[in-house]
Amino acid sequence: MARSDYVFTSESVSEGHPDKVCDRISDEIVDLIYREAKKTGVDPWSVRIACETLATTNRVVIAGEVRLPASLMKTDKNGNEVINAGRFRSAARRAIRDIGYEQDGFHWKNAKVDILLHSQSADIAQGVDKASDAEDGANQAEGAGDQGIMFGYACRETPDLMPAPIFYAHKILEILAAARKKGEGDAAHLGPDAKSQVTVRYKDGMPYEVSSIVLSTQHTDDSWDSAKVRKVVEPYIREALSDIAIADDCAWYINPTGKFVIGGPDGDAGLTGRKIIVDTYGGAAPHGGGAFSGKDTTKVDRSAAYAARYLAKNVVAAKLADRCTIQLAYAIGIAQPLAVYVDLHETGKNVDEVAIEKAIRAVMDLSPTGIRRHLDLNKPIYAKTAAYGHFGRKPGRDGSFSWEKTDLAPKLKAALAS
């Protein structure tokens, strides 16, 4: 039996956190390639991207393997076709500028940007381009880009069916970033780098009140101390927590170590894919271990995690359960998942997990091709996923966050009724 009264904590990091800077750059590369494919009439199904970024003091290194539209290539002085590194450097600088870095130690204009991208391995390509389980060569479904397990989760704790601690941790930082970029009063002196942490007290299994708040945020005024930072940020934190109670005995820790002027990659090196719990459910659900940013959607680390969230959210939206965890398992070069696992956490509404597992396979093709087609993923929609979570976001008119839709709920109900 699950506990009904407890506390749970999740953290988030801002778009200016060193690792998130790297995630953003990697996803800007993904968007650049998809955008260029559309612009030049290249089939977006053909592009391949596995892009990793390292950032440190005034230095960015972008490495990985790609299959690019010809417009992103150029001919070198020896007549060889090579990657047009300038296009990728420009994408990285635009991302850094948008985040807000114009510090001596990390500046969008002055940082050296190294491009170490190369063509995708033929050994990987042969398994991805055509699945080993294709039927008689006629079914040209893509194989999974790698082996792995992916999890999706949904619950009734917030309107977006996300766990409350990560929902509020993200919201605090989003509101502070908006105030910083608008130049609102003293918030204009906040820096891009920040971390939040929220502890929620649960009563009868549902969020009841916030019992502790941690925020560390960079600031540009060297004279600020912790008390000054709290005075500036507390109104924004209370705004973010306006629809949940803050406990009378709530512990506040605002810049607990004192001033925080040197931040971002100048203060601590960043890498793509190091904030996978921030990207997902804040530790409230399992994680398969694969990162999302910098990958095209043949990589099931990304696309199948989106599909698992989509399915779990639709199970809960269909009122089949109050909580749902879904696991999908894949093998490289094989199109269909090896296994589908559902856990309703004893909250199922007159339906069992086995029936939902069968219904899931009936209503959605879970091959990489099927997922990309169903969720319409071959688009430049990924830079905005790089901060404040890939889940619990509003679907956009541009096709972003399509995995947050609940349009599959009626089909799930119908499949279970048949």
* Mean pLDDT of the region 132-141: 53
Collect contacts of 401-407 with beta carbons under 8 A, ≥24 apart. 402/310, 402/375, 402/376, 402/377, 403/306, 403/307, 403/309, 403/310, 403/313, 403/375, 404/160, 404/309, 404/310, 404/313, 405/310, 406/313, 406/314, 406/317, 406/318, 407/314
pLDDT of the residue at 138: 40
What burial class does residue 58 get, using C-beta atoms within 10 Å of its C-beta: 0-12 exposed, 13-18 middle, 19+ buried? middle
pLDDT of the residue at 136: 44
- Does pLDDT of 270 surpass 50? yes
pLDDT of the residue at 80: 79
* Mean pLDDT of the region 132-146: 62
55 belongs to the catalytic site: no
Decide whether 6-14+164-266 matches 18-121 in CATH topology: yes
Which residue among 63, 85, 141, 269 is the active-site one? 269
Which residue among 87, 170, 275, 323 is the active-site one? 275
* Mean pLDDT of the region 366-373: 96
pLDDT of the residue at 398: 96
Give the other-Cβ count within 10 Å of 373's Cβ: 13
For 215-245, give one letter per residue: b (16+ CB within 10 A) or e.
bbbbbeeeebebebbeebbeebbeebbeebe
pLDDT-derived band at 125 (thresholds 50, 70, 90) equals: low
- Does pLDDT of 21 surpass 70? yes
To the nearest whole number, what is the mean pLDDT of the chain?
94
pLDDT, one tens digit per residue, over 27-46 is 999 999 999 999 999 999 99
Which residue among 8, 11, 20, 307 is the active-site one? 20
pLDDT, one tens digit per residue, over 146-201 is 899 999 999 999 999 999 999 999 999 999 999 999 999 999 999 999 999 999 99
18-121 has CATH 3.30.300.10 classification = yes
376 belongs to the catalytic site: no
186 belongs to the catalytic site: no
269 belongs to the catalytic site: yes
243 belongs to the catalytic site: no
23 belongs to the catalytic site: no
Which residue among 181, 189, 230, 274 is the active-site one? 274
Which residue among 15, 52, 193, 209 is the active-site one? 52
Q: Where are the beta strands (DSSP E) in 255-386?
A: 270-271, 323-330, 339-343
Which residue among 93, 195, 201, 313 is the active-site one? 195
36 belongs to the catalytic site: no
pLDDT of the residue at 137: 41
> Per-domain residue ranges for the chain?
6-14+164-266, 18-121, 148-156+272-417
148-156+272-417 has CATH 1.10.10.10 classification = no
301 belongs to the catalytic site: yes
- Does pLDDT of 301 surpass 50? yes
**270: nearest Cα among 92, 416, 139:** 92
Tokens 């494919």 correspond to what residue? 37
CATH of domain 6-14+164-266: 3.30.300.10
Q: pTM for the complete prediction?
A: 0.95
295 belongs to the catalytic site: yes
Which residue among 24, 295, 302, 309 is the active-site one? 295
230 belongs to the catalytic site: no
299 belongs to the catalytic site: yes
Q: Is 389 left (phi over 0), alpha (psi -120 to 50) or beta?
A: left
274 belongs to the catalytic site: yes
74 belongs to the catalytic site: no
Q: Which residues contact 279 (CB under 8 A, 6 or more apart)?
A: 23, 291, 292, 293, 389, 390
DSSP per position, 380-394: S--GGGSSS-SSS-P
77 belongs to the catalytic site: no
Which residue among 234, 268, 353, 365 is the active-site one? 268
